[in-house]
Chain A
């Protein structure tokens, strides 16, 4: 589409020809050089991923499946949270899991030990899941209608924020052992979150972690974001997380 006037819809136009313009205005973009032509694309870099993500979203909605993308740095407690969630909500909700890791099937094995179906996606050198990987994971997993799919993204607070998977909600998990400055260091990730979980609060007496400073950083990056404090190990505060999940069921 032309950035100046919005004409031509999604079609390519070549700025050295201009014959598609019946109307009169000045284009700011560059023109032909000898032997070359300039083509204005005005296209999102991640357009292909975004289109696949929309297809995933539609597929999930048609089956009334709630898909939640869980993102954190390595070691924040994502898998422990999933294990507890499945054990405590398994009788009430049908939960299945898609595990993203660079290597190994260790996390999927931990999830399967709880009795829930799990698919492991190994991204190799890739540092995040993308919409195509999720589509493949869903095809293998075949989650039942009305169920919950929890997607454990690759442990990384940078790249996963950029890649829409088609999920209904994004949850960022941070633990008190990582330091309160995480939202200030990784604001894009916190900005992308629908919910922030502050995990391992049972360890607060043993670490220097300023909860107020953490909350201030999270709200600077994402004003109004909901933050829940919990311990996936002891269960403290975890009922609020379950309440949040239940409220999002289709």
Chain B
């Protein structure tokens, strides 16, 4: 809920009282944020605000990592996956995104 409230607050900070008709978020699959919960909360929290009725698009970047030991890049569906070489020492390249990509407002 507070993640969704943060989304709305951030949009107000940037867009003032403009009527918002679409919101596009990026929520990485490794971010720890549950997309279904955000969708549910979004409807509840936007009621009676400049975001009421806005379409919510959520892009979910897949987790990607680079192994610091062997250099391989691989897909990471969860944070516990090891590199094929057996190493857990990896640098996350994608999947932790939690941002507002864009909004569409009434002109």
A interface SS class: mixed
Tell whether, in the assembled complex, residue B3 and residue A39 are in contact, meaning their CB atoms are under 8 Å apart.
no
Stretch at the interface among A157-165, A198-206, A230-238: A157-165
> Is A4 interfacial (CB 8 A cutoff)?
no
User: Please, how many angstroms separate the alpha-carbon atoms of A48 and B14 in the complex?
Assistant: 11
Task: Report which B residues bind A (CB closer than 8 A).
Answer: 1-3, 6-7, 9-11, 13-15, 21-22, 25, 30-33, 78-80, 82, 87-90, 98-107
User: Please, how many angstroms separate the alpha-carbon atoms of A217 and B98 in the complex?
Assistant: 25
Q: Which residue of B lies closest to A219 (CB)?
A: B88
Tell whether, in the assembled complex, residue B102 and residue A45 are in contact, meaning their CB atoms are under 8 Å apart.
no
Tell whether, in the assembled complex, residue B98 and residue A44 are in contact, meaning their CB atoms are under 8 Å apart.
yes
Complex interface: chain B residues within 8 A of A224 (CB): 89
Complex interface: chain A residues within 8 A of B15 (CB): 39
User: Please, how many angstroms separate the alpha-carbon atoms of A223 and B7 in the complex?
Assistant: 31
Complex interface: chain A residues within 8 A of B90 (CB): 223
Contact of B79 (CB < 8 Å), options: A3, A36, A45, A221:
A221
> Is A84 interfacial (CB 8 A cutoff)?
no
User: Please, how many angstroms separate the alpha-carbon atoms of A192 and B92 in the complex?
Assistant: 13
B interface SS class: mixed
Do A36 and B104 contact each other (CB < 8 Å), given the known contacts A45-B10, A49-B6, A220-B82?
A: yes
> Is A78 interfacial (CB 8 A cutoff)?
no
22 contacts between A and B (CB under 8 A): A12-B14, A35-B107, A36-B22, A36-B105, A36-B107, A37-B105, A38-B22, A38-B102, A39-B102, A41-B11, A41-B101, A42-B100, A42-B101, A45-B3, A45-B7, A48-B13, A125-B1, A126-B2, A158-B32, A191-B79, A219-B88, A223-B89
User: Please, how many angstroms separate the alpha-carbon atoms of A33 and B87 in the complex?
Assistant: 49
User: Please, how many angstroms separate the alpha-carbon atoms of A188 and B13 in the complex?
Assistant: 28
CB distance from B77 to the nearest CB of A (A): 12
Tell whether, in the assembled complex, residue B13 and residue A29 are in contact, meaning their CB atoms are under 8 Å apart.
no
Tell whether, in the assembled complex, residue A44 and residue B99 are in contact, meaning their CB atoms are under 8 Å apart.
yes
Q: Which residue of A lies closest to B38 (CB)?
A: A45
Complex interface: chain B residues within 8 A of A188 (CB): 30-32, 79
CB distance from A19 to the nearest CB of B (A): 15
Complex interface: chain A residues within 8 A of B106 (CB): 35-36
Tell whether, in the assembled complex, residue B10 and residue A38 are in contact, meaning their CB atoms are under 8 Å apart.
no
User: Please, how many angstroms separate the alpha-carbon atoms of A159 and B104 in the complex?
Assistant: 29
Do A42 and B2 contact each other (CB < 8 Å), given the known contacts A37-B105, A217-B80, A221-B80?
A: no
User: Please, how many angstroms separate the alpha-carbon atoms of A40 and B21 in the complex?
Assistant: 14
Tell whether, in the assembled complex, residue A46 and residue B98 are in contact, meaning their CB atoms are under 8 Å apart.
yes
Complex interface: chain B residues within 8 A of A36 (CB): 21-22, 104-107
Do A33 and B104 contact each other (CB < 8 Å), given the known contacts A46-B6, A187-B78, A217-B80?
A: yes
Q: Which residue of A lies closest to B92 (CB)?
A: A191
Interface readout for A1-19 with B: 1 if CB under 8 Å, 0 if not? Answer: 0010000000010010000
Do A223 and B88 contact each other (CB < 8 Å), given the known contacts A35-B107, A162-B3, A217-B80?
A: yes
Tell whether, in the assembled complex, residue A32 and residue B80 are in contact, meaning their CB atoms are under 8 Å apart.
no
